[in-house]
Each structure stands twice: as structure tokens, then as C-alpha cells.
A and B are shown apart, each in its own frame.
Chain A
Amino acid sequence: MTEQEVPKHKGKNIDRDPDDDEKKNGDKEDGGSGRKTDEEAERERKIEKARQRAREAQKKADPTLLKSFAKQTIQKSGE
């Protein structure tokens, strides 16, 4: 094929049925539609483990530092 101008896409606009979106979204409270795969469950377990350890590190901050920092730097509005 010789080089030529970029052709236009022939597809139609996507007509969306709002009901489809709802079906896809599933039940938010149980973490979406369907059950978690083994892979997802394993990932979730690892994330929780890492998060717990990171949280312990986070607690080590000096409380006097916190108080002084917030007192001097909290802004009431943007810029």
C-alpha cells in the first residue's frame, strides 16, 4: 500500500443504554459484580499486609512536630 492521508474512522458513535452501565457496575458494596478471583483475593491479602506495616511506620512521627506544623501552616483557603 502506498502512503496516503490518514483515513477517517468508519465506526458509528456509541449509543449507550444507561441500563447496561448499571448492570456492569453491579453492587458497589460487595466490591463490584461477581466474586473475586483467587488472584484478586491474593493481591488483596498482600496489599492489606503491606498497608498494615506502612501504617506502623506512619505512626512514628513526632507529635510535637505535628502540632507546631499544623498551627503554622493550615490554610483556610486555596492560594
Chain B
Amino acid sequence: MKYNSKAVPPYMGEEVEWAILIRNKRGMYRLPTYDEFGSMINVFRAYLKIPIVDGKENFFENTKGLSGNEDWRVFLEKLKRYQLRREQGFLPSGFRYYVDGHHLELSSPGCCTLKDLIVSSKAGEKILNFSRKVLEEKILPEGYEVKVFKDTSNRKGTSFAGHENYLINRETFHQLTDGITKETMQLASFFAVRVPLCGAGQVSIDRFGNFSFQISQRAGFIERILSLDTTFLRPLINTRDEPHADFVRQNGVNVPVKRLHVICGEPNMSSAGMKMRFGTALNFLQGIQDDIFYDIQDDIVLKDPVRAMKIISSDVGIERTVELADGRKVKFFEILRTINNRLRWYFDEIREPTQEQREILDEVDYYCDAFEKGTKYYMKMLLPELDWINRFDVCSGILRERRSNWTKLGEEEKNLVYFNDLSYADIDPVSGLYYAREREYKKEGLIKKEFSESEIRERIFSPPTDNREYLKGNILKMFPGLRNDWEMILLPSNKVLWLGDPFRGSKEEMGDFSRFFSEDALIKELKSLGFKLFDRR
């Protein structure tokens, strides 16, 4: 690296809140109960043969006689005795599977690469599908059906989210969140214009019952630029200050870091959409840490990013413009191109990017070119890649066949469109419409294969190997049920292992974990490597 870049290396994670519906024998839909959420988590924990979550201090006592192969009826009887409460719920693979408020949430492990993150997201779908199947087939009475959607709404009045988390330096975090600064406006504008690259798409219904289509599911719920709120008056930039890390070692010095918690996006079914969501944000945040957008402020900052996001989201035909702070009107892709050109200079001259980060630059250009070529072009050519286009096609295909359109939908068509819209995000590979389409695109070679099924399966059981998740996950495999959080783990001897630097504890640093036969041997090695260990007070 030629220059002393302030940007910290990529480290990110995803949180998905799952929309779940249960249909009884009479065809009535309801939300899961708290116990059912608990059962979904615990059947998976039992499958991994790790202690179930019960909120008590000593997990080990509660797992006597319990194994993943136990008869499910007996298991359930035992389960009833436990009161699930808000718990950490970490798995050895680095996921956190837990109940947050009144929804089921699965957070990915911290990842240093986009590939690792997408693999983790796909593994997360498999974990949820396992829990769904067990709940449907082994726990609920016969004839009940459980549906899990990777979607921001269960259509029963609740909005969820797919949050993103990025590690950035502390100075930039405060520039972004301490008040509305030029950096805040740059980032807020970026979040507004990235919508067509990564929107999940959704049928939207107004209070008069009229149907329309939105590119982003989340845009309608964003109401301000900056705030701490996540459940009402949601912002483009969330000020939540829970870093889960202290510093990273860079250029021989400790750089203080924080976690930027992004709540204005939504979970993707397609890997290409997810790659765009995280990849573009990762690149932009690296650039903003080195203040590379200062002199193109006029070309990228929107007058009203919140309003612009809503305009872009409702404009499937990409006909409308958005207003820059100086009053000029431009299309979203012009802003994206300006940002992309500046990032290209940044990666060429200042900071060496990863291969994936470079790919993102090329892909953004490819998508922008397609958007510029017009509606017919991008609606066809980007179908295999982008969720909102695929989803729009799922819904508008119904209308085409019935010679109807969005403004004159009959009751039956509304039902069909509504059901198919949600079914797109059904994570069951058998019934989910995204998966039905993905299979066909794969047969025609239209989707680039960037990871294998075995890599996804592997991630269900094993953490990433290039950061602290490797160390934490392997300790959890050695001593199941230890109390832990993102940045710490309480060892059986009541010593706290502090993991404030997310890049420490990788496989490269720790080597093969099977050589540690006891906690003493592990502690000795950790001490020799300079890890922070202290007694629990």
C-alpha cells in the first residue's frame, strides 16, 4: 500500500429477521407463538448436539440425557420444562440464532469476504428450513403447515429487516453519526441510489387497496436521515453504538474501530443482489473513511435522500430523476457511476482492494449500463441476477397471461399476485418461487457459480477461518454451551477471553485446533500469542 489509508479491512455481517406463518388444518394463518420460536431454535441446537437455550447459568446440567437422536416426542416433553428467554444463542459456526422481541432472528458470523458472507446467508436459509421442517412434521399436529420467508413482512402487519454490519474506523463512525455532516449526506445519498442494485422488490398496497410494485421493501419505512430508532421513524443511517470490537492492527498501530449498523436494506434471495448490497456499501465505506468523495460532493449528494429513496423505489420503469443538493436533476445510475469512477481511482492509486472489491466496480458498471439502455433491456437481461426484477416478473407474468394490468386487478388476480409475491421469498427449495427460477437459470448457465453446495453445508457446522470466529467457534465445539458474545467468551475456568480485534484468532494464527486436549493447553497457547485473558469478576 502506497499511502497510509485510514480505511480498515473488510469485516461485515448480516442479520435476518424471518417472517413466519403457520397454517392450520382449516386453512387459517397465524403467527408462531413464543414457544414455537423456542422449539425452532432448540431443535436445531439439539441436532448439533449442543445445549439448548434455557437462560440458566449452567447449561451442562440441562443437557443430561439429551441428544440429537432422541425421540422427538420425549424431547418435546423436556423442552416444555424450559422457559426460553432472550439469550445469546451463539452456534459453533459463528451464527447467532435467537428470539429478538417477537421474531426469530439469525445473524451471520463475522466475515472478511463477500463470498463467505453469501455462503453464510445461504447456510442460514438451510438452518431455518431445517427448523421449519421439524416444527411442521414433528412438533405441530398433523396437517399444519409452516412457511418461512426471507422477506421484510409476513403480511400480518409486521415489518422485519435484513440489517447489515460493517467495521469502520472510529473517527469515521463519529463523523457519520454525531450529527448531519457532509459524510452523513454522502452515505445517506448512496443508500438511496443503491436501491435498484439490491432491492428485493415487493407488491405494495395502498390504503384504498390499490396494488403497485416497489423496488425496495424498506424504502416505505424510512422516514429520516439519522437516528437511533430501528422500529419506528427509521433512518437511512442508524446511530446505534455497539461496536463489538475495540481496534484492529494496521500499519503497526492500533486503529480504533466501530460497527456501523445499517437498517435501510432488506434481505436478498439472489446471491448477485446480496453481493451488490454488501459489496457496494463495503467499497463506499472504505472510500468515505479516506474522505475521497469530498470534491464530488455536488455530484453525489441528494437534496432529500429519504424522498429520493422513495422515488427510486416506486419507479420500476426508471423514468424519474432525483434532485441533487444544488438543484440539478439526475438519474440514480449517474450518481452510482460518479461514485464508481471515484472508487476506481481510489483502488488504483491509494488502496489495494481485494479481488471481490474490484469485481464489484465492474458489476456496478454492467448494471448501470443495462439500466441506461432502457426498461425492456434491463427487465429482460438482469432477470437472473436482481431480485426485484425477478420478483416483478413473477407478479407481472400473472397479469400478462390474464391480459390485466396493475391498475385494474380483479379480486382473484389480487390474491394470485399477493400470494406469488410472498412465495418468491419462501425459503423452502421445493415450494419457493425464487428457487424454482434459480434452478431454471442454472440449467441455462445464466447464473455464475461462485460457491458450491458443500461450502454451504460446511458453513452450517463450521465458522469462517480468517477471523476471530474461528477461535470462538472452535472453543464452543470443545466446550459446548459456554457463555459468549461477539467479542468475548467465558472459558470453563471462569476466565474471560477478550476478542476485541476481529482479525485475531484465525486458522492461520491458531493452527489446527485438534492439538488442544485441555483448557490449560489452550490458555497457555492463548497467553503466548498475547490474547487478553482476565478473571471474571
Which residues of A pack against B, CB within 8 Å? 1, 3-9, 11, 13-14, 16, 21, 24-33, 40, 43-44, 46-51, 53-55, 57-58, 61, 64-79
Q: Is B527 an interface residue (CB 8 A)?
A: no
Contact A32 B374, beta carbon cutoff 8 Å? yes
Residues of B that sit less than 8 Å from A by CB: 1-6, 21, 23, 27-29, 153-159, 205-209, 220-221, 251, 290-292, 294-296, 298-299, 328, 330-331, 334, 338, 342, 345, 349-350, 372-377, 380-381, 383-384, 393-394, 397, 414-416, 418-420, 422-423, 433, 436-437, 439-441, 443-446
**Complex CA–CA separation, A79 to B295 (angstroms):** 40
A29-B374, A31-B380, A51-B437 are known contacts; what are 9 more A-B pairs with Cβ within 8 Å? A6-B6, A28-B374, A44-B380, A50-B440, A58-B436, A73-B21, A75-B155, A75-B205, A76-B209
**In the complex, the 8 A-B pairs of residues with the closest C-beta atoms, listed nearest first:** A32-B373, A28-B374, A70-B415, A50-B440, A73-B155, A46-B444, A68-B27, A57-B436
User: Across the interface, do A69 and B29 meet the contact criterion of CB distance under 8 Å?
Assistant: yes
Closest to B374 in A: A28
Report the Cα distance A30→B376, complex, angstroms: 8
CB distance from B214 to the nearest CB of A (A): 11
User: Could you tell me if A78 and B220 are in contact, using CB atoms closer than 8 angstroms?
Assistant: yes
In the complex, chain B residues whose CB is within 8 Å of the CB of A43: 381, 446
Q: Which residues of A contact B29 (CB under 8 A)?
A: 68-69, 72-73
Instruction: Let me know if A46 and B446 touch, CB within 8 A.
Output: yes
Among residues of B, the one whose C-beta sits closest to the C-beta of A15 is B299
Q: Are B384 and A47 in contact (CB under 8 A)?
A: yes
Task: Given A6-B6, A55-B397, verify A78-B377 contact (CB < 8 Å).
Answer: no
Report chain B residues within 8 Å CB of A7.
3, 349-350
Which of B5, B349, B393, B418 contacts A70 (CB under 8 A)? B418
A-B contact pairs, 21 of them (CB 8 A): A3-B4, A13-B295, A24-B372, A31-B373, A31-B374, A31-B380, A47-B384, A47-B446, A50-B437, A50-B443, A54-B437, A57-B433, A58-B394, A58-B436, A65-B27, A67-B415, A69-B29, A70-B419, A72-B28, A72-B29, A73-B154
Q: Is B3 a contact of A4 with CB atoms below 8 Å? A: yes
Q: Which residues of chain A have C-beta atoms less than 8 A from B338's C-beta?
A: 14
Given A3-B251, A9-B345, verify A58-B384 contact (CB < 8 Å).
no
In the complex, chain B residues whose CB is within 8 Å of the CB of A29: 374, 376
- In the complex, the answer to whether B418 meets A69 with C-beta atoms within 8 Å is yes
CA gap between A75 and B156 in the complex, in Å: 7
Question: Bound complex: CA of A70 vs CA of B33, how far in Å?
Answer: 21
Query: Do A32 and B383 touch (CB < 8 A)?
Result: no
